[in-house]
């Protein structure tokens, strides 16, 4: 069998690259980012642990980096962002099909109630800012510790999204998906419009960590997490 000429080999290689670039592996799952409200509040007011009114960016720190209220590198349990800060890696893209704000069960009722009523969600891309509205209208409880007891009638009980709500993220209508190509900044913010104490009872910190002594209301460092989550498709471009 005769070997191809250099020109034929070059043409074949170009064809291979074209085919590889046109393909991609597709994964389904969430793209999420957490901030430590405890860390932010303790930085704002070390004595009282009051969180100041402020805009809290999500997706600004990738896995393995320190930030967003954390005193240690973020792990996959806190973010699935694994490129540069605020970006997906080169060769990866994401299509967001739904969006929600997740308040885990560890957050106290006073903190949750304040966030749901006194904070709002926004998405920023370049010069455009989409004010998505009050956080209460973007609930997320598809993940984590929860039950479906919301389907039952329990007298004098409080239904919490993250504990017994089983509420999925709000799905975008067809044509309203969010697209994030490789190396583009991903920016979501939760703006807290009024200050609040990030403690177990919603009162000023009493100097005792929760679980470390009677009546303790202080969250440990790197706790009291607040997530912004999108569900959708992640694409890995086949360029090898």
Instruction: Give the model confidence (pLDDT) of 65-120 as tens digits.
Output: 999 999 999 999 999 998 877 888 888 889 999 999 999 888 898 999 999 999 99
At 54 the three-state DSSP class reads strand
pTM: 0.84
Q: Which of 78, 109, 132, 135 is nearest to 198 (CA)?
A: 109
Provide long-range contacts, Cβ within 8 A and 24+ apart, for 71-78.
71/39, 71/221, 71/222, 72/222, 74/34, 78/33, 78/34, 78/225
Q: Per the domain annotation, does 191 fall within a domain?
A: yes
Share of the chain above pLDDT 90, in %: 55
Task: Show the DSSP H helices in the chain as ranges.
Answer: 6-22, 37-44, 109-118
pLDDT digits (tens, 9 = 90+) for 192-235: 999 999 999 999 999 999 988 888 999 999 999 999 999 999 88
What is each CA distance from 191 to 4, 102, 113, 194, 238, in whole angstroms?
A: 62, 15, 15, 9, 38
Q: What is the pLDDT of residue 228?
A: 96
Q: Per the domain annotation, does 206 fall within a domain?
A: yes
CA separation for the pair 26, 95 (Å, rounded): 10
Q: Per the domain annotation, does 124 fall within a domain?
A: yes
- Inform me whether the pLDDT recorded for 151 exceeds 60: no
Q: What is the DSSP string of 154-212?
A: -TT----IIIII-PPPEEPPTT--EEE-TT---EEEEEE-S-EE-BSSSS---S-BTTT
- In whole numbers, what is the pLDDT of the chain averaged over residues? 87
Q: Which domain holds residue 220?
A: 24-237
Higher per-residue pLDDT: 104 or 154: 104
Q: Per the domain annotation, does 75 fall within a domain?
A: yes
Poorest-confidence range of 8-17, 41-50, 181-190, 207-216? 8-17
Q: Per the domain annotation, does 7 fall within a domain?
A: no
Phi-psi group of 147: left, alpha or beta (phi > 0 → left; psi -120 to 50 → alpha; rest → beta) = beta
Q: Per the domain annotation, does 1 fall within a domain?
A: no
Q: How many domains does the chain have?
A: 1
Q: Which whole number is the average pLDDT over 187-195?
A: 97
Higher per-residue pLDDT: 41 or 184: 41
Q: Per the domain annotation, does 133 fall within a domain?
A: yes
Q: Per the domain annotation, does 138 fall within a domain?
A: yes
CA separation for the pair 123, 130 (Å, rounded): 5
Q: Which whole number is the average pLDDT over 174-197?
A: 92
């Amino acid at each position: 069998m005769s070997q191809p000429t250099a020109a034929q080999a070059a043409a074949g290689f170009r064809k291979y690259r074209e085919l590889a670039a046109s393909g991609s592996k597709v994964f389904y799952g969430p793209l999420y980012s957490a901030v430590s409200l405890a860390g932010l509040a303790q930085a704002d007011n070390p004595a009282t642990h009051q969180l100041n009114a402020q805009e809290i960016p999500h997706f600004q720190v990738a896995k393995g980096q320190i930030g967003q209220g954390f005193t240690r590198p973020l792990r996959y349990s806190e973010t699935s962002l694994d490129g540069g800060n605020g970006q997906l890696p080169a060769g990866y893209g994401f299509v967001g099909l739904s969006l929600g704000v997740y308040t885990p069960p560890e957050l106290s009722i006073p903190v949750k109630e304040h966030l749901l009523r006194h904070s709002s969600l926004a998405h920023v891309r370049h010069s455009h800012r989409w004010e998505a509205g009050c956080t209460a209208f973007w609930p997320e409880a598809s993940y984590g510790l929860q039950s479906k007891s919301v389907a039952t009638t329990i007298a004098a009980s409080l239904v919490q999204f993250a504990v017994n709500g089983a509420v999925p993220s709000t799905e975008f209508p067809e044509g309203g998906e969010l697209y994030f190509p490789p190396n583009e900044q991903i920016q979501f913010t939760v703006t807290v419009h009024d200050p609040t104490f990030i403690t177990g009872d919603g009162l000023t910190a009493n100097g005792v960590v929760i679980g470390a002594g009677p009546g303790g209301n202080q969250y440990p460092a790197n706790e009291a997490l607040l997530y912004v989550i999108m569900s959708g498709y992640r694409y890995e471009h086949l360029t090898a």
